[in-house]
Structure 1
Amino acid sequence: MEYRTLGGSGLKVPALILGTATFGGGTDFFRKWGETGVAEATRLVDLALDAGCTMFDTADSYSLGRSEEILGQAIRGRRDQLLIATKTGMALGPGPNDLGTSRSRIIASCEASLKRLGTDRIDLYQLHAFDAVTPVDEMLHALDTLIRDGKIRYAGVSNYSGWHLMKMLAAADRLGLPRPVAHQVYYSLVARDAEWELMPLGLDQKVGTLVWSPLGGARLSGRVGRNRPAPADSRAATDASWQVPDERLYAITDVLEALAAETGHSIPRLALAWLLGRPGISGLVIGARTPEQLAANLTAGEIMLDTDQIARLDAASAVSPPYPYWHQQRTMAARNPPPVP
């Protein structure tokens, strides 16, 4: 397993991270992702650790905390062998303070996550979504308190826009507080929006990119393609996936299928290998319902795509940039070079 530096920190993380949103199945939404119980989760953790995948990502909102509980049981007795990342911010109840990232919510949520996980510290604690009501200074002071108390090692964010993240980074510098070292984003061959400002921002400010749903909500699992609609029993056939226009999806799966035939590699492994070559990527959060799925995808880092294969995937998945990026490319391309893989 390749290890990469997490942003501007000194922490090394595996390039492939096991996501545990499939653990629990505690709500209608998450049952469409998976219903992995403790025994099966333990087998997945065993397999991941054997492959050098030593980081596990969860959130307090995954199955209303059940994912954290199952992960905590699956890693019992071997906490020092691995890294835990979790998140807070999504709604966990009907009350006015049951969502968001106020100081009160951040600290209380962290303490609750520690109990569910059965540990005394979280290696990467992430704010799951931007809270425009709470001042960023308040969020940063709360995270600093948790760091000083030894309850978290590093802080990160997820699903922030470029200006949200830059506002938080600037406030951290102004206040002399620890900066977020990671930003977890939605990014894949079918969803390249993060390239316009989040990727350059991460590279410029040394914020590592962690990718969630790197297979586009299971649409790049190999089970979906032109004239092959998502099977009824697949997550891609439900509202627990993410919409992609059919022609865009099929243009990408056509190329992936051709490359799979040429190389002998599976479609999801090729899609993951393309992502691993993108600029600023610290790690991909991959999920799995079965040990077979996990074992196959954990080998994606062994694939080295050549320049022609990358160019074919780039062309199939390319989208027109939004304003002001199309204007910059048209008028000032020499002064605004794109990030280079």
Structure 2
Amino acid sequence: MIYRSLGQQGPEVSAVCLGTMTFGQQTDQADAHSQLDMAFERGINFIDTAEMYAVPPRAETYGATETIVGTWLRRQARERIVLASKVAGPARSLGWIRNGPLALDRANIRAAVEGSLRRLQTDYIDLYQLHWPERNQPMFGQWQYDPDKERVCTPIRAQLEALAELVAEGKVRHVGLSNEHPWGVMEFVRCAREFDLPRVVSIQNAYNLLNRVFEYGLAEVCHREQVSLLAYSPLAFGHLSGKYLANPVAAGRLTEFEGFGQRYSKENVQPAVAAYVALAQSLGLTPVQLALAFVYRRGCVASTIIGASTRAQLAQNLDAWVVTLSADALEAIDRIHLRYSNPAP
């Protein structure tokens, strides 16, 4: 395992991060602790969670993931773990979270942090992220910005000021973004610079063979402004394993939870997956190895967030770390990408 620093002065994290959103839904506490132990033994020091988890979000499982992580964390050397969590924003129908937050304002951010600290049984969170923007923007499978949907929202400066208080109090050490777009990143960077507020060190966005939208605008912004990409969903909710090609009702989140992962229901997803599976087979790799090796070694990616519902799946994902793709393989991937450009944005 290798380690990289996030942003300009962020924490040093493993190039693979353990995502935990199955904990408390598909994965019970015993299996979750086993996954955490395995990841830590394999050199992973970076754990990502969120107040909203488990996923899919439900009132019955709200906070369950952080609670499970907390019961594991309390018996670890805390300084050896880089712990990331997120505050859920408004603009989604999640009324059970803080009675339906109307804003990413000071009161909501503070309440979210304090709730996460209690569940995680820790005094601080190393990386605290805004799970998605409060303002109007396309996200989670939407692909067009619609100015007619503009609404009043908390200014980005005010969001950073709320986070700055938590940093000053030692409850949060670094701040980051998630599901953001280029304008948002630049505005957070501008406000931090102009008003001496905490500078975001990372952005957590979807990035995989079916969704390389990050490369179009965000890659340049994040490179020039030193904001590190934490790539989530590298297997595209299991699509890139190829299991749904052979069996459309194979076990997984997409079949277990109705209406889940809608960005992967678009028409070119299955042809693109078939092309990547065929390429993997021609290279003597599994589809999982091809998909993960692509993201693991991508120059724009600081850390790849992997998640699994079982210990066996996690082992398979970790084993893919040793796979390196040749220049010819990368060229073949780009040819498929140009044929099926971002079918699941």
TM-score of the two chains, using structure 1 as the length reference: 0.85
CA distance in 2, matches of 1:10, 1:165: 16
Per-residue deviation, 1:232: 4.2
SS of residue in 2 equivalent to 1:293? helix
Structure 1 letter corresponding to 2:4: R
Aligned to 2:141: none
Preserved CA contact (<8 Å) 2:73 2:121? no
Change in 2 beyond 3 A, CA 1:94/1:208:
closer
Aligned to 1:143: 163
Aligned to 2:249: 231
SS of residue in 2 equivalent to 1:18? strand
Structure 2 letter corresponding to 1:74: W
Structure 1 residues 48-67: aligned runs within 5 Å: 48-62=39-53, 63-67=61-65
CA distance in 2, matches of 1:95, 1:150: 23
Preserved CA contact (<8 Å) 1:219 1:236? no
Aligned to 2:144: none
The answer to whether the aligner puts 1:43 opposite 2:34 as a matched pair is: yes
Question: Out of 111, 119, 124, which is 2:122 matched to?
Answer: 119
SS of residue in 2 equivalent to 1:130? coil
CA offset digits 1:254-287 (Å, max 9, x no partner): 3333324533x32112101111232321111111
CA offset digits 1:40-61 (Å, max 9, x no partner): 1110011000101111111101
CA offset digits 1:168-194 (Å, max 9, x no partner): 110111001111100000111011112
The Cα RMSD (Å) is: 2.1
**Structure 1 stretch displaced more, 4-13 or 188-197:** 4-13
CA distance in 2, matches of 1:72, 1:320: 41
Per-residue deviation, 1:296: 1.1
SS of residue in 1 equivalent to 2:163? helix
Change in 2 beyond 3 A, CA 1:143/1:319:
farther
CA distance in 1, matches of 2:102, 2:301: 29
The alignment-based identity, stated in percent, is: 34
Structure 2 letter corresponding to 1:47: M
Preserved CA contact (<8 Å) 1:190 1:244? no
Unpaired stretches in structure 1, ≥5 consecutive residues:
26-33, 323-341
Preserved CA contact (<8 Å) 2:86 2:131? yes
Preserved CA contact (<8 Å) 1:97 1:105? no
CA distance in 2, matches of 1:231, 1:96: 35
Aligned residues, how many?
310
CA distance in 1, matches of 2:97, 2:124: 28
SS of residue in 1 equivalent to 2:63? helix
TM-score of the two chains, using structure 2 as the length reference: 0.84
Preserved CA contact (<8 Å) 1:64 1:92? no
Unpaired stretches in structure 2, ≥5 consecutive residues:
54-60, 136-152
Preserved CA contact (<8 Å) 1:230 1:236? no
Aligned to 1:2: 2
